[in-house]
């Protein structure tokens, strides 16, 4: 069985051992759990493609401005069409399995360290901490999708094209990808806060 009847999941592998348990790509015709994955570490059981679709549905804000940048609807079928178009573009440009390209992009865009604020004696200090695997995946997906939405909003580029460019750039570990540049930036901040 293939995902959406189009994309094969055989032979896919996750090279990052920390993310291996948290990236699920079991073959289903329609990747929609309808919130049935509940309990501890439920995100690990949710298909990675469903997580991309769910992340596309939420426009979000950049920084702390609370300014909505995109006109994204919460319609699941529309977001699914965007993901299918993106995967078809990835196939034509890279001649590889698009799910494997997405997995490589997540591995390259996921930060290993973060900075948190610790209050000690009335003063706040930055402290470097390790990033949990499920949070690493969530940050990588969010940064890729926000980068694609910013590149396509009020521009001639379609969202599916911008997302395909972002995923391909992240899989190549290129600095053109927003996820890779944010990963490098957060890891530098964490190194300086040690």
What per-residue confidence (pLDDT) applies to 64? 65
What per-residue confidence (pLDDT) applies to 176? 93
What is the full per-residue pLDDT of the chain (194 aa) written as tens digits?
A: 788 888 888 889 999 898 988 888 877 777 777 666 677 777 788 888 988 998 888 766 666 666 655 666 678 888 899 999 999 999 999 999 999 999 999 999 999 999 999 998 889 988 999 999 999 999 999 999 989 988 887 788 999 999 999 999 999 999 999 999 999 999 999 999 88
What per-residue confidence (pLDDT) applies to 72? 61
What per-residue confidence (pLDDT) applies to 2? 84
- Please list, residue by residue across 122-150, b when 16 or more beta carbons sit within 10 angstroms of its beta carbon and e when fewer do: eeeeeebeebebbebbbbbbbbbbbbbbb
CB 182 within 8 A of CB 99: no
Report the distance separating Cα 32 and Cα 30, nearest Å: 6
Report the distance separating Cα 11 and Cα 8, nearest Å: 9
Question: Quick one: which H or E segment has residue 91?
Answer: helix 76-94
What per-residue confidence (pLDDT) applies to 153? 78
CATH label, 42-192, candidates 1.10.455.10, 3.40.50.2300, 1.10.287.3510, 2.20.25.10: 1.10.455.10
Residue boundaries of the structural domains of the chain? 42-192
């Amino acid at each position: 069985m293939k995902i959406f009847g189009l994309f094969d999941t055989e032979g896919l592998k996750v090279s990052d051992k920390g993310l291996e348990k948290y990236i699920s790509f079991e073959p289903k015709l329609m990747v929609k759990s309808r919130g049935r994955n509940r309990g501890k570490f439920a995100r690990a059981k949710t298909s990675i493609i469903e997580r991309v679709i769910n992340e596309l549905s939420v426009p979000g804000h950049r920084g702390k401005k609370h300014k909505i940048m995109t006109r994204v609807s919460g319609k699941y079928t529309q977001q699914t069409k965007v993901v299918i178009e993106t995967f078809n573009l990835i196939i034509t440009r890279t001649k590889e399995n698009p799910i494997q390209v997405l997995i490589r992009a997540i591995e390259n865009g996921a930060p290993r360290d973060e900075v948190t604020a610790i209050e000690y004696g009335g003063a706040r200090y930055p402290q470097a901490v390790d990033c949990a695997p499920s949070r690493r995946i969530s940050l990588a997906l969010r940064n890729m999708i926000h980068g694609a939405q910013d590149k396509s909003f009020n521009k001639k580029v379609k969202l599916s094209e911008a997302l395909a460019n972002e995923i391909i750039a992240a899989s190549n570990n290129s600095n053109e990808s927003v996820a890779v540049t944010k990963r490098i930036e957060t890891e530098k901040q964490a190194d300086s806060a040690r």
